[in-house]
Amino acid sequence: MNEPARRLSVVVLVLFLALMGAASYIQVIGAEDLNQDPRNVRTLYREYGNFRGPIVVDGEAVVWSEPVDDPFNYQRSYTQGSLYAAATGFYSIVYGRSGLEQTENALLNGSADALFWTRLGNLFAGEQQQGASVETTLSGELQAVAAEQLGDQRGAVVALDPATGEVLAMVTSPTYDPELLASHDTATVNANYAELLAQEDGPLINRAIAGDTYPPGSTFKLLVAAAALEGGYTPDTELYGPQQLDLPGTSRTISNFGDAECAGDEYLPLADALRISCNTAFADLGMSLGWGVLERKARDFGWDEPLEMPLPVTASGLPESPNESETAMSALGQFDVRATPLQMAMVASAIANDGVLMKPYLVDTVRASDLTVVSQTEPEEYRQSMSPEDASDLTQMMVGAVADGTGRAARIDGVEVAGKTGTAQTGQDTPPHAWFVSFAPADDPVIAIAVIVEEGGETGSGATGGSVAAPIARSIMEKAIQLDAEGDL
């Protein structure tokens, strides 16, 4: 072989090896990522040609695929779509996937490794690939009550089973109907998506777990109280709670709601301070404990840590190295303390469950097309947030807040309810956010819940957590107790 032919052969060999390497990488290493990439339109076309599994609530499919006479073979349908949109998300030819449609995509479309034997069976039987069904932990009745009670007000509701971490209800408002984005008509989908994006209230945002985080206001006092109990305080320990408290290093003061006095002699027990939500007492307590103690206790409840359930959850935030006056504000759930509604439901859940925080989860069971169980979520301990003794003391303090304190609007006849109100300031000219976190029955909880109504909702600047959010929580807790008594929860 002459020299030019030898050189050409080497170049061809190198190009051939490079081609083999690239093909091997794409088909072996990068295949999964490419298949899961929602921008991969070829994947979408292939998926639409197969039967996609349903998403199930209470044994009924609320999302399913049905055959249609068009090139895509199947149409995704959402019954009561807006009611479950926060969990299901959407499945769109144009905009890909969100919610469970995204996180459980490989199971729903049948390509997951866990469905290998099912696919093999379909292959030998000459049948089409079929996706698995995803059964959620949601209670349809609780979801409906939460959505009805929240109404058109901006906000969110999250309800958990404190013993297991199951998400019983997750509502965000405003929301949208995923059916609007599931059409096979690209022009229609584009127009609907543009209309949703143009709405100022952001209906595509899941405020319960993945929207902007909120100042938790006085609901954060539960963590301050938990830190105090761990530090040796008791419900009877006297706190300093003047009508106004000077903020160190500033000319500013902290006042109580309505500039009220907490106690005639400026001292009151920790339990009473929580019951009437005394700002000055908790600000002074926060400074006495120190930021390091409060920060550690917040992390015990899951702050500052990303979470997937399997939907990704925005981490709740804490201030970095606040000074003494900033610590006082942080103890009231203001300054730079931020939380998702799910985070506050987790706080209530841990207190309700003897101090043990269970990891929240939204998917209960996955079944193959022949109904065999592919996977089932087992409850998992997430944190030991506080001792059982401290949880018991804090529960009784929360019972006092509902029985004869700021949370009276959450009282249920014949049932002890544990709760805490929050009225979080958001600006000089902006109405406060109304919060309520609670669980019931206090001695044997079946539900832990967090409610937020943004900027006072329909009440506006006169809103408080007790007047706006507590009645919403009460209705949901009443339904949960009824369902539990009937064996349906």
Helix (H) or strand (E) holding 245: strand 244-246
Helix count (H) and strand count (E) of the chain? 17, 21
Highest mean pLDDT of the ranges 14-28, 114-128, 137-151, 256-270: 137-151
Q: What is the CA radius of gyration of the chain?
A: 26
Catalytic residue among 139, 173, 218, 467: 218
Rounded mean pLDDT of the chain? 93
The question of whether 218 is a catalytic residue gets the answer yes
Tokens of 17: 């090896």
Nearest C-alpha neighbor of 468 from the set 440, 430, 435: 435
DSSP alpha helix (H) spans, 66-198: 81-88, 99-103, 105-108, 116-124, 140-150, 186-198
- Cis check: omega of the bond before 4, within 30 degrees of 0: no
At 27, is the pLDDT very low, low, confident or very high (cuts 50, 70, 90)?
confident
pLDDT at 417 (0 to 100)? 98
Does 124 have pLDDT greater than 90? Answer: no
- Are 166 and 174 in contact by the 8 Å Cβ rule? The answer is no
Per-residue b or e along 234-271, where b marks 16 or more CB atoms closer than 10 Å to that residue's CB: ebeebbbbbeebebeeeeeebebeeeeebbeebebbbb
- Are 421 and 407 in contact by the 8 Å Cβ rule? The answer is yes
Q: At residue 108, what is the residue type?
A: L
Compute the 3-state secondary structure of the chain and give helix, strand, coil in percent, each to the nearest 5: 45, 20, 35
Distance separating alpha carbons of residues 277 and 256, to the nearest angstrom: 8
Beta-bridge partners for 361: 166
pLDDT at 39 (0 to 100)? 65
Kindly compute the dihedral angle of the four CA atoms of residues 32, 33, 38, 43, in this order, to the nearest 10 degrees: -40
Per DSSP, the three-state class of 209 is coil
pLDDT at 127 (0 to 100)? 77
The residue among 130 and 148 whose pLDDT is bigger is: 148
Token look-up 């061809």 returns 12
pLDDT at 422 (0 to 100)? 96
Per DSSP, the three-state class of 94 is coil
At 44, is the pLDDT very low, low, confident or very high (cuts 50, 70, 90)?
low
Distance separating alpha carbons of residues 171 and 160, to the nearest angstrom: 12
Does 36 have pLDDT greater than 90? Answer: no
Distance separating alpha carbons of residues 284 and 271, to the nearest angstrom: 15
318's CB contacts (< 8 A; 6+ apart) are 295, 298, 303, 304, 330, 336, 337, 338
**Averaged over 365-382, what is the pLDDT?**
95
**Averaged over 25-44, what is the pLDDT?**
70
Tokens of 480: 């949960």
- What Å distances lie between residue 207 and 148, 151, 201, 211, 465, CA to CA? 16, 14, 11, 4, 18
Distance separating alpha carbons of residues 222 and 420, to the nearest angstrom: 8
Range 114-117 contact pairs with CB under 8 angstroms and sequence separation of 24 or more: 114/366, 114/374, 114/375, 115/368, 115/374
Does 38 have pLDDT greater than 70? Answer: no
**Averaged over 27-50, what is the pLDDT?**
71
**Averaged over 309-336, what is the pLDDT?**
96
The residue among 118 and 451 whose pLDDT is bigger is: 451
- What Å distances lie between residue 201 and 195, 205, 210, 457, CA to CA? 12, 9, 15, 13
Beta-bridge partners for 136: 363
Q: How do residues 82-116 score in pLDDT, each as one tens digit?
A: 999 999 999 998 898 999 999 999 999 998 988 88
How big is the CA angle at 61 (ends 57 and 66), to the nearest 5 degrees?
160
Beta-bridge partners for 449: 159, 438
Cα torsion 77, 50, 87, 134: sign: positive
Beta-bridge partners for 238: 269
At 29, is the pLDDT very low, low, confident or very high (cuts 50, 70, 90)?
confident
Q: How do residues 209-254 score in pLDDT, each as one tens digit?
A: 998 899 999 999 999 999 999 999 999 999 999 999 999 999 999 9
Percent pLDDT > 90 in the chain is 78
